[in-house]
Amino acid sequence: MAVLQYAESMQRITDMERVAAILAPLGVGVREIPVMAAGAAALLAQAQLDADAQAALLAALDDVFQRLQREKGYQERDLVVLYPGHPQLPELDARFRRIHTHEDEEVRYIVDGEGVFGFVLEDGAQVELTVQAGDYIHIPADVEHWFRLNDAQRIKAVRYFSARGGWTPHYTNRALQHFPGS
């Protein structure tokens, strides 16, 4: 279940209808898709996955991919696996923790762990949305956002693409506000 938090307060919103209403003006969509991949429990429990294990997990989640292909036209997908000790974790964290946009939509299905997406609302307020296993998030092109891991530093997320190459971050140089607990 996703949790939304405002930067300037400790206010946390867990009601999905309220979360959706706050993010709707940006076009950001969040919904729950239970992770029910047959035979994937052992793969989800592992911190690290080699290429074969990642392919096996993606295959186990193929029903979600096929449904999203029909609904949204996605052509490709891959799996992001981040964990404590990942050799590129500091660089990846620094790269996506800054406020940026993309020329294409960003779509993630969280299948294990947690992460935090942040957004700049139309009035300039900043919010962070903690997502966890079973959360599917769609961020339209040109929406100011960022991503960071929480203290657990563990996430497995399927990324869906309608076209490759549109996910290059374009940094806005807007200052990121302080969030309690970040």
Q: Sketch out the chain's domains with CATH numbers.
A: 3-167 (2.60.120.10)
Identify the three-state secondary structure at position 10. Answer: coil
Would you say residue 30 has pLDDT above 90? Answer: yes
* pLDDT, tens digit (0-9, with 9 covering 90-100), for 163-172: 765 678 899 9
Torsion angles phi and psi, residue 60, rounded to 5: -65, -25
- The pTM (predicted TM-score) of the whole model is 0.93
pLDDT given for residue 166 in this prediction: 60
Distance CA 118, CA 5 (A): 9
Q: What percent of the chain has pLDDT over 70?
A: 97
Q: What is the mean pLDDT of residues 77-98?
A: 93
How far the first Cα of the chain sits from its last, in Å, is 19
* pLDDT, tens digit (0-9, with 9 covering 90-100), for 1-28: 789 999 877 789 999 999 999 999 999 9
Distance CA 39, CA 34 (A): 15
**Token code pair at residue 66:** 């096929």
pLDDT given for residue 26 in this prediction: 98
